[in-house]
Each structure stands twice: as C-alpha cells, then as structure tokens.
Structure 1
Amino acid sequence: MMILRYLTYLPANLALVLLAYLLSPLLAAISLLTGPKLPGVLQWFSTLDADLDGGVRQGVKGYRSGLSGWRLWWQRTCWICRNPAHGWQSRLLGMPAFGTIIARQWISEDPKQQVYIMQTAAGVRFFCFKRDQPIGGSFYLKLWFGWVNKAYDGRNHHYAFQIGLKRS
C-alpha cells in the first residue's frame, strides 16, 4: 500500500516540480516586490521552513547576504530550483507529522543509507529511503524516495523524489 500511494502521487509531484522550475524566474521577480517570503499559495513552490533567502541563513555554499537587484533575483531563482515545490510536497502530497511514529529504522554507514517505516496517528504507514551512492572520487549520487523522515515545516513529512549529484 505504501509503494502504491507513492507511485500514485509521482505524476503530480513531477508536474509540480516542473512547474516550480518553469515559474522560478517569475516567482523570484515577485519576491523582489513582496520580500523573501512568497505570498499565499505561491510559497508552496519553495520551502515552507525557510524563505527564499534560506540558503544564506543555512550557510549553503554560494548563497550570500546583502545582494540586491539581478544578483538577488538570480539567487532566489536558484533557491526555488534547489527546493522545487517543497510546499506542495508537504501540504498536498505529505503525510501528517502529528502523532507519527517510526515503526522500523535501518541505518548503515557503508554505503550511507537510511530506511524508515513510519506510521501516522491514524495507522497509515509510509516510508523513507535515503542513500548516498558513491560514484567515484568525492562524488556520490544522492537518492531520496518516499516521504522525508523529518517534518521540516513541523506539520507534514513531505513527499520526496530526489536524485542528485553531490560532492562530499
């Protein structure tokens, strides 16, 4: 049932992520007028736990404070693309955090991998799979599937379908 729910949500997730990528320049432009937090439902195209300057506060490499104009627009566009549709993944496709327990957990260091089976207060089970697959040198493939094991916004475990290249 967990896998079936995940696969059912996959097309909506892919559509929302694509829409976030396409709208990111416009959303970043709107933020120059409204501030670093997008208004209303537009916030769902980015992270709910941070505004569009979140990379600065979190110390993400390449994100700088004190920018304005085109540079600020570009940095916010990049932040939306780095975290596309997280709000939608949390509020629309997410699993409720209140009363959720971790039913099972497996963690290994070589390769770095985490698997969680979680259960909502209503008894609905869901999963989280994270793996850092070494691909050579200091590079690895970051794989996240299921629902993130932490509720970053404090309300929901957001839907995750993430494949990315990372450097350690």
Structure 2
Amino acid sequence: MIWAVVRYLAYLPVNLLFVGLAYLLSPLLAALSLLTEPRLPGILQWFSTLDSDLDGGISQRVKGYRVGLSGWGLWWQRTCWICRNPAHGWQSELLGMPAPGRIIVRQFSDTPKNQWYVMETAKGVRFFCWKRDQPLFGGFYLKLWFGWVNKAYDGRNHHYAFQIGPKRA
C-alpha cells in the first residue's frame, strides 16, 4: 500500500499542471468546441471528461446547465464544464489505473459521506480511494477526494483524483 501512496504523491505535480492548464485554456477550448461541436478533437478532449462531451452538464442534469444555448451562452456553459471537470481525461488516460480485472481488496464506509477503498489491478498493482464530505455549515460540505476514483467512469480507467472544494448538500 505504501507504493500506492508514493505513486499518488509522485503524480501530484503533473496532475496540478494539467488541471492548471485546463483552467487557463478553458475559454479557448470552449471557443474551439463551437467549431467542432461538443467534443474536442483528439487529446484536447483530455482537458474535459472522457465519458461525456462538453454538454455533459445537460445530459447529467447538473443544475444550471441548459439546452438550446448558442453563441456566448453556449461558450460560457462549456467553459464552466471544463472548469468543473478539469483534466479528467489526462487523469484517466495518463495517470489512471486500469479498470479491467480490478478487484476491491478492502472497503470501508461508515456513511455514504466517508468512503475508503483499497483496490488492485489485474496485474496486482494496488491503489486507493478516499472520499469524504466534511460537514461545514448551512448545508455546505467540504468535498475531499484523494487517490483514484473507485468507479471507472469511462469504463477503462480509474482516474486520478485530487479534489478539495465546497459542495452543497
């Protein structure tokens, strides 16, 4: 398990670089998407999500994402989607752990808001996931996700996770 933590910490600087680039490039990537439609071409899609296009907020029924926008409204909505899911493609394809044959070695969950997983790839490489929603005040939580997400959203890889941020209940 110690090697999973070492690997996680070694990937952290690269992850922060990709996430920072996603935030910086989000307005340009969203503008490009107005020409290419909701999916960015090639590896540029890695700046967003692999399991959805840039209109994913609509299909996933995320509050505030609307159908039928065009022009500046559509550009802004897609910019927001990239910033909501920065570099998920990089986190999956480059930093992720393969999903096929993965087993859960240990699982702990005292509540749905506190989960710990130790998983193993088909080749025996261990990795972990820790998710916690820490209550704050007024229905807000501090969302903490570290390790590799326990669900392979794209069906191929468990993406690298480093999320710290507010969440509304």
Report the Cα distance in structure 1 between the residues aligned to 2:137 and 2:54, rounded to whole angstroms.
33
**Long gaps (5+) in structure 2:** none
Q: 2:73 aligns with which of 60, 71, 74?
A: 71
Which sits farther off after the overlay, 134-143 or 5-14?
134-143
What is the alpha-carbon distance in structure 2 between the residues aligned to residue 121 and residue 67 of structure 1? 44
Q: Which residue of 2 aligns with 1:144?
A: 145
SS in 1 for 2:136: strand
2:84 partner amino acid = R
Residue 26 (structure 1) aligns with: 28
1:11 matched residue in structure 2: 13
Corresponding residue of 2:118 = 117
Which amino acid letter does the alignment assign opposite residue 31 of structure 1? Answer: S
Query: What is the CA–CA distance in structure 2 between the aligned matches of 1:45 and 1:87, rounded to whole Å?
Result: 6
Q: What letter is aligned with 1:18?
A: G
Which ranges of 4 or more aligned residues in structure 1 deviate by more than 6 Å? none
Mapping of 1:13-162 within 5 angstroms?
A: 13-109=15-111, 112-162=113-163
Shift of 1:137: 2.0
Distance (Å, rounded) in 2 between the aligned partners of 1:65 and 1:141 = 30
| Matched residue SS, 1:127 | strand
- Write out per-residue CA displacement over residues 122-159 of structure 1, whole angstroms, 9 at most, x where no aligned residue: 00000000000001120110000000000000100000
Task: Find the residue that maps to 1:103 and give its secondary structure.
Answer: strand
CA drift at 1:108: 1.4
Other structure's SS at 1:65 match: coil
Secondary structure of 2:166's counterpart equals strand
* Alpha-carbon distance in 1 for matches of 2:92, 2:100: 13
1:162 counterpart SS class:
strand
| Corresponding letter in the other structure for 2:157 | N
Partner in structure 2 of residue 164 of structure 1? 165
* % identity of equivalent residues: 77
* Equivalences, count: 167
Q: Distance in 1 between matches of 2:30 and 2:162?
A: 23
CA deviation profile, 1:58-81 (whole Å, cap 9, x unmatched): 100000000000000000000000
TM-score (norm 1): 0.98
| 1:109 Cα deviation from its structure 2 partner | 1.6
Task: Determine helix, strand or coil for the equivalent of 1:21.
Answer: helix
Alpha-carbon distance in 2 for matches of 1:108, 1:80: 32
